[in-house]
Structure 1
């Protein structure tokens, strides 16, 4: 077909499109196999979605050993301070057994073992004074005369009139004589009378005997006994003092008990 014929044919087709809209474009040629997109390979099995197991902890033998923790002491807890133990000459000896036997024979007297009894005075003919303290707040005093004992157990006062002096009281009256008992802080013994610089007691006054009670807390108390004749006034021997004069108190001033 010549060029003029092609032009005439295309013009005729254009007129036909305008007239009937039935003149369609020829289909596109098929694509070459090389131009087709290549599909991605499909895995034969999907990956597992289960989490991998966590490693097992090492056995106790494989774990590093930690140093054992030292026990922590409980703070603010009260310590077991009793019973008091005798010190020095206050320790019970074989010769003191008659005094302990007399105290233990008294009805209702709960005398502890010998290592918790404090011997304050070893007098002649089986006389003397014993004491024991279950703790720092309570005491028992046994006054032995003629193989018979008079025992009294009381708490120490919570307050006192003189520094260092916990108690001055009467331990009983026997054979027209009054036995005084004093409890003093610290171990400042020996104790004796102070009368115008003299160490001797006045008329009607017996010597001062003392012993030391020691507690597990480290605290010590001095336990004193001395006598006076009932009804006898001796103004020259009104004070008892420690050997270093650190503590003094009126001998006849029973202000507690």
Structure 2
């Protein structure tokens, strides 16, 4: 369920979302579109992204789909430039894209490690680098980096992924310190276990979900739309003096 709150200052803002075609990203794309933002989203998956864009059009909303593989930094930069050319300087960037593939320590090669980081950490920096000049020229902006609670709970099955997600917290604080004088705020959101289609297909079991919900303070499954409200808050002037922070959204699991 999308949040009912409206942030008038977001209307007409140029918003760029990475990984915005499915899962949490699709909910974010829709959520910002419902605020009246000019939304562009980058995703590698054409079919899912075009389906999302069509569904939004049918609902009287719009979002510009830009296909790119975030491991290709030149393609990423080109997509960011196209978003700015179409909608004006990006003043809200949501670095959401991620790939939480499980892997055994003994099986990780150098190439696998580098490819994993190239999806889960490296694009966060280079997308921020691409939009920062436009944000400065526009008088400020908000960058929201999606981390994860996985490294906080010592998740054992994806060490490269958890390393990347921990790195996002450090990147967030470093960017916040550097870009703050230009009125650019940089924060992170660390979601808990969100019931996306991918999670349900690959890893959710009745016993595992039941045990997880028992550890949450709020005894409900987290849905992708539950991340929209916190993200809108960090993007809007409601969080005007909030930067270099990590907002944990996990129903009280931690």
CA radius of gyration, larger in: 1
- Normalised by the size of structure 1, how large is the TM-score? 0.25
- Higher strand residue share: 1
- Normalised by the size of structure 2, how large is the TM-score? 0.25
> Relative contact order: is structure 1 or structure 2 higher (C-alpha 8 Å, sep ≥ 6)?
2
- Higher helix residue share: 2
